[in-house]
């Protein structure tokens, strides 16, 4: 028997088919090739788009770093959220290194962080945010380096009206805290104010590792974080509890000292345990009323805190400290 080659069989098949059948056969053969071609073209397009996105993200981060912009790092869940003001110190490979003038506990390693920043491009300020994992934390007493992943995408971030900052050394002089009952009226005179629940006077030139029973953890135009070291539990220290606070701070960053006697009331929005000390609590407080005490005048003239605008004197002080902090980074 004579063997028929594949070529002969194909030639016979083509010769005995109509043009319509041949067209269908050609399309049948072309479909896998077209599918493969479209799939590879789509993969190439996605790779190019990912490369452009990655380059754009890096460009924005480098621009923010060059402009010495503030990065607000938010850690934890809503019920136990902490915020840190930071500067982007280094972009290395696929990681970001932030300099925080604050102690950041290593317990936040391997958790997620929401990071907000803004950048000025062509004269317009744009706000961004991203969600990444914390890779490592190099924590010191008063400063830390927080290392995170570089983001794969950026979202449009809302304008951060008030950022929090830890007061610079030698800026806080006196701090006192009173716990108020819901029915307590606002004191109209310093004579109406009794002994504080906790107080602390910080001498000029105090060492950075000094331990105080009461300290300002951080502050912004709309609120303050107070670090408390107390051996007694007080049932009045509860969420939504009311406080009265006296803060004497130096508003001058250079030259002669200019002390401001700032008095405020506030609502305790959250209470959390300090990560570096089991005996320490941190109260997150939202300002409700404020006043500036005049030397030799016992009267207290209160102003209501407008949440949308913040407190002018505190905003100015925080901004000055932020500028000074950037100079040293």
Q: What distance in Å separates the CA atoms of residue 51 and residue 45, rounded to the nearest whole number?
A: 10
Phi-psi region of 127 (alpha: psi -120 to 50; beta: other; left: phi over 0): beta
Residue 149 shares a structural domain with residue 289: no
Q: How many Cα atoms sit within 13 Å of 234 on the Cβ side?
A: 17
- The DSSP output letter for 192 is G
Residue 106 shares a structural domain with residue 248: no
Structural domain includes residue 167: no
Structural domain includes residue 165: no
- The DSSP output letter for 13 is H
Residue 177 shares a structural domain with residue 291: yes
Residue 303 shares a structural domain with residue 204: yes
Residue 247 shares a structural domain with residue 317: yes
Q: Among 156, 182, 199, which residue terminates a domain? A: 156
Residue 183 shares a structural domain with residue 322: yes
What's the pLDDT score for residue 208?
47
**Other Cβ atoms closer than 10 A to 117:** 24
Give me the phi and psi of 4, to 5 degrees please: -100, 125
What's the pLDDT score for residue 302?
94
Q: Among 129, 156, 183, which residue terminates a domain? A: 156
Residue 230 shares a structural domain with residue 299: yes
Structural domain includes residue 241: yes
User: What pairs with residue 225 in β-bridges?
Assistant: 218, 284
Structural domain includes residue 181: yes
Structural domain includes residue 302: yes
Structural domain includes residue 24: no
Q: What distance in Å separates the CA atoms of residue 315 and residue 222, rounded to the nearest whole number?
A: 8
In terms of residue numbers, what domain contains 259? 172-327
pLDDT tens by residue, the chain, 329 residues: 455 566 666 666 666 767 776 677 677 777 787 788 888 888 888 788 888 999 999 999 999 999 888 888 888 876 567 778 788 999 999 999 998 877 888 999 999 999 998 888 888 888 899 999 999 999 886 678 999 999 999 998 765 556 778 898 889 999 999 999 888 899 999 999 999 999 988 876 655 445 678 889 899 888 999 988 766 667 778 888 999 999 999 988 887 888 999 999 999 998 887 766 667 888 999 999 999 999 889 999 998 876 656 788 888 888 788 877 766 65
Query: Measured between alpha carbons, how far is residue 289 from residues 50, 255, 300 in Å?
Result: 49, 31, 11
Residue 299 shares a structural domain with residue 230: yes
Q: Among 125, 156, 187, which residue terminates a domain? A: 156
Q: What is the CATH number of the domain that holds 92?
A: 2.30.110
Residue 206 shares a structural domain with residue 312: yes
Structural domain includes residue 61: no
Number of compact structural domains in the chain: 2
Residue 219 shares a structural domain with residue 243: yes
Q: What distance in Å separates the CA atoms of residue 145 and residue 84, rounded to the nearest whole number?
A: 11
Residue 144 shares a structural domain with residue 238: no
Residue 141 shares a structural domain with residue 288: no
- The DSSP output letter for 9 is H
Of 311, 301, 213, 231, give the one whose Cα is nearest residue 266: 311
Structural domain includes residue 75: yes
């Amino acid at each position: 028997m004579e063997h028929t080659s594949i070529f002969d069989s194909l030639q016979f098949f083509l010769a005995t088919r109509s043009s319509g059948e041949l067209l269908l056969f050609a399309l049948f053969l072309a479909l896998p090739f077209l599918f493969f071609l479209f799939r590879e073209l789509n993969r190439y397009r996605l790779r190019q788009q990912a490369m452009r996105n990655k380059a754009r993200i890096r460009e924005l981060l480098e621009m923010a770093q060059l402009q010495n912009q503030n990065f607000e790092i938010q850690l934890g869940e809503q019920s136990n959220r902490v915020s840190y003001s930071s500067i982007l110190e280094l972009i290395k490979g696929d990681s970001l290194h932030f300099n925080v003038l604050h102690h950041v506990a290593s317990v936040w390693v391997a958790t997620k962080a929401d990071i907000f920043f803004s950048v000025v491009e062509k004269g317009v300020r744009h706000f961004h945010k991203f969600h990444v994992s914390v890779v490592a934390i190099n924590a010191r007493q008063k400063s830390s380096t927080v290392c995170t992943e570089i983001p794969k995408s950026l979202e449009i971030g809302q304008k951060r009206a008030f950022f929090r900052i830890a007061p610079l050394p030698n800026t806080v002089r006196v701090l006192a805290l009173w716990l108020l009952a819901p029915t307590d009226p606002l004191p109209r005179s310093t004579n109406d104010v009794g002994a504080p629940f906790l107080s602390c006077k910080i001498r000029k030139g105090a060492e950075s590792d000094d331990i105080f029973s009461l300290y300002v953890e951080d502050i912004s135009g709309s609120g303050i974080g107070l670090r408390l070291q107390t051996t007694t539990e007080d049932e009045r220290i509860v969420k939504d509890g009311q406080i009265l606070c006296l803060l004497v701070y130096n508003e001058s960053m250079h030259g002669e000292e200019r002390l401001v006697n700032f008095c405020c009331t506030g609502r305790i929005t959250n209470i959390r345990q300090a990560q570096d000390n089991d005996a320490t609590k941190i109260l997150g407080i939202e300002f409700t009323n404020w006043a500036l005490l005049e030397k030799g005048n016992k009267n207290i003239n209160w102003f209501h805190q407008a949440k949308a605008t913040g407190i002018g004197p505190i905003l100015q002080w925080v901004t000055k400290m932020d500028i000074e902090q950037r100079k040293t980074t």
